[in-house]
Structure 1
């Protein structure tokens, strides 16, 4: 056997895949993909990876391993058992399950490069294919990055912090008018797949009265939990580029969602162009049809008060609605928000990094966002500074003008 062949075999034997199932992604990738398949299957889109903070070592150093992981990802297919599970969710339609039966991520649609110390990852092609890369790319980058930093001491610290979270939950007192409920939203920035599973399994066993589900469809299936998720920014942003007037894109997106799901999956995301602009479009029709709203940027208390005031103006009983908070939460913050709102409206808390990557190590602030669709730029005008991702300043200025949103200083 040649030395080259021997080295290749050793490398293959050492390869440990980050992703082992296409089910191991956020539910909302499926719930957004279904209406896009039905109403806009020809869309062409570009998604781009960005690290918003300074990593402990250059991400360019993991480029080759990320490439290997993506090559493996593109060999995976849904199993019949996984498709039966998805088909058992009442909002998943049979033709969509048939599409997933033949679905396979295509390596030619994703590129990985190093530019200096930075990692550049772009997924470009048919949107109904490339949109599925997002969560997997982020999970792969995170896990490969943290494999270098994983030690028995780090895992021990993670377990200690997990025990502290459970102890804190057990101090939550008597219920207010509505119960405290939280969910795992931590696929994309997790320390590892194994650690996310340990966290989810531990919460499901120890505090089932509070822990009500996970966005990770694979873990929801494995542990009999509720898969959680509706829509993300990319869904609404897509409607900025699909033939409606820009000022009407939110209403068009919400209407398409209503027609697709007809009462299911009724939590709407509010911050693509800011809460004020969202509420201007979220009229009585939508406010009655949607079960609630999701917060993902800006001051959560101010946001929640705006939502409550909006329901009051529309003469809708807020006790029949839900506010879901999901912006950089930890459990103490979630409990504080619960205590503020829980006697006036139902609440839920999607917690990501602080559940699945609280190991005592600095975390990566990474995203992979839709930046163009059908050759046109798309953007989010977040309620938080630093969350906008768009290279086209002309489009950003126009978007701000249409929705009367001031630029962050």
Structure 2
């Protein structure tokens, strides 16, 4: 198609912040670690017919580089180090790391290589898959239509919350990976910044830069997954992952993701030392109310005032569920809502894709994500899952 003769991803910073934050930590501590990641479709995989267009777009990404203005922008943050940023200036995507094919109508993607390089492929590839699929399937949808629908949802939101104290409400755009398109994401975030005082940031470094928002993100599941094979003792892998993150960032970027194994297993490792030093926790699977209650009780048992900590909710949020969670917790602990697909691809008659790219190996050995939602559990090796259950004493 003609529209795909130009690159969809136009800058290295059109990605989630946690990818760049993790890349810096990997750069300093795991330079020679290798990983393998694969595309996972949690619904019907009918994407194989787009493989040629996607390959063309992925090849275009090899010309991307960090501009001088982007370098100066990243340099303004206190947690980035000069040696890493200078390396990032020289970074180029390596197309040989990506294998993509159409197998009986299903799209298969495998990415392998050094972790410090592979780590940046996930988000833009997912965004490419989404935009190619949506633009071909729903060619009539424009950013103007998406913004108009957003306005109608905001009108209902204000109606439903007219008697609710919203002074502690904070919302962040987490919608890069499965957005309808870059233009739709940009237009929606821009409209929110102009008309929605509760928007405090974006996980997309490029959009955060040009709209002068705070970039938000710490680490994803792959940080904990990789440590399953980096750690000498599997049972201590979460503890090592938490330690190394603090070692890299100290007082910055200290929201910890809790569900790579399960919330219960995480809290057993999240002792007083970690609970005191980390700013808070991020929810990404399971019942958000049960999860929030467990987090608050955990802090209280350790003698830590929950009012000094933050819970970041980021699992399939819409405005209705967000209001319910806010009502439950806003007077008890600081909360932030990271809204993803529902924000940047919630358009009438458009069915959002449910796709992810997850690590499947580290240093040649299997890794897993168990999660608090059974549908999000993934591993290529059942024996390794059994090892994880045994190591973390899971029922």
Q: Normalising by structure 2, what TM-score?
A: 0.96
| Residues 1:384 and 2:373 are matched in the alignment | yes
Offset at residue 98 of structure 1 (A): 0.7
| Residues 1:217 and 2:205 are matched in the alignment | yes
Provide closer, same or farther for how the CA distance between residues 74 and 59 of structure 1 changes in structure 2, counting only shifts above 3 A: same
Q: Distance in 1 between matches of 2:328 and 2:129?
A: 37
* Aligned residue-pair number: 393
| Residues 1:49 and 2:39 are matched in the alignment | yes
Of residues 114, 117, 142 in structure 2, which corresponds to 1:129? Answer: 117
* 2:332 matched residue in structure 1: 344
> Alpha-carbon deviations, 1:40-81, whole Å to 9, x = none?
1000100101111126xx311101000000000111111111
Of residues 170, 188, 195 in structure 2, which corresponds to 1:199? Answer: 188
| Residues 1:181 and 2:170 are matched in the alignment | yes
Provide closer, same or farther for how the CA distance between residues 212 and 14 of structure 1 changes in structure 2, counting only shifts above 3 A: closer
Q: Distance in 1 between matches of 2:7 and 2:137?
A: 17
Contact 2:147-2:191 within 8 A present in 1 as well = no
| Consecutive unaligned residues in structure 2, runs of 5 or more | none
| Consecutive unaligned residues in structure 1, runs of 5 or more | 1-10
* 2:108 matched residue in structure 1: 120
* 1:18 matched residue in structure 2: 8
Between 154-163 and 211-220, the greater mean CA deviation after superposition = 154-163
> Alpha-carbon deviations, 1:253-295, whole Å to 9, x = none?
1111111111101100000110000000000000000010000
| Residues 1:405 and 2:394 are matched in the alignment | yes
Of residues 47, 54, 60 in structure 2, which corresponds to 1:59? Answer: 47
Q: Distance in 2 between matches of 1:372 and 1:306?
A: 31
* 1:274 matched residue in structure 2: 262
Offset at residue 89 of structure 1 (A): 1.1
* 2:86 matched residue in structure 1: 98
Q: Distance in 2 between matches of 1:176 and 1:319?
A: 17
State the secondary structure of the residue aligned to 1:271: coil
Q: Distance in 2 between matches of 1:14 and 1:279?
A: 46
- In our comparison, the structure showing a higher alpha carbon Rg is 1
Contact 1:27-1:216 within 8 A present in 2 as well = yes
Q: Distance in 1 between matches of 2:317 and 2:366?
A: 30
Provide closer, same or farther for how the CA distance between residues 305 and 14 of structure 1 changes in structure 2, counting only shifts above 3 A: closer
Offset at residue 114 of structure 1 (A): 0.9
Q: Distance in 1 between matches of 2:87 and 2:24?
A: 9
Offset at residue 359 of structure 1 (A): 1.2
Q: Distance in 2 between matches of 1:280 and 1:177?
A: 33
State the secondary structure of the residue aligned to 1:202: helix
| Residues 1:77 and 2:65 are matched in the alignment | yes
| Residues 1:317 and 2:305 are matched in the alignment | yes
Of residues 29, 34, 43 in structure 1, which corresponds to 2:19? Answer: 29
* 2:127 matched residue in structure 1: 139
Q: Distance in 2 between matches of 1:295 and 1:271?
A: 7
Contact 1:46-1:124 within 8 A present in 2 as well = yes
Q: Distance in 2 between matches of 1:366 and 1:53?
A: 8
* 1:235 matched residue in structure 2: 223
Offset at residue 372 of structure 1 (A): 0.3
Contact 1:329-1:352 within 8 A present in 2 as well = yes
Contact 2:143-2:183 within 8 A present in 1 as well = no
- Pairwise CA RMSD: 1.6
State the secondary structure of the residue aligned to 2:200: strand
Q: Normalising by structure 1, what TM-score?
A: 0.93
Contact 2:229-2:367 within 8 A present in 1 as well = yes
Offset at residue 106 of structure 1 (A): 0.2
Segments of 4+ moved more than 3 angstroms: 11-14, 151-157, 168-178
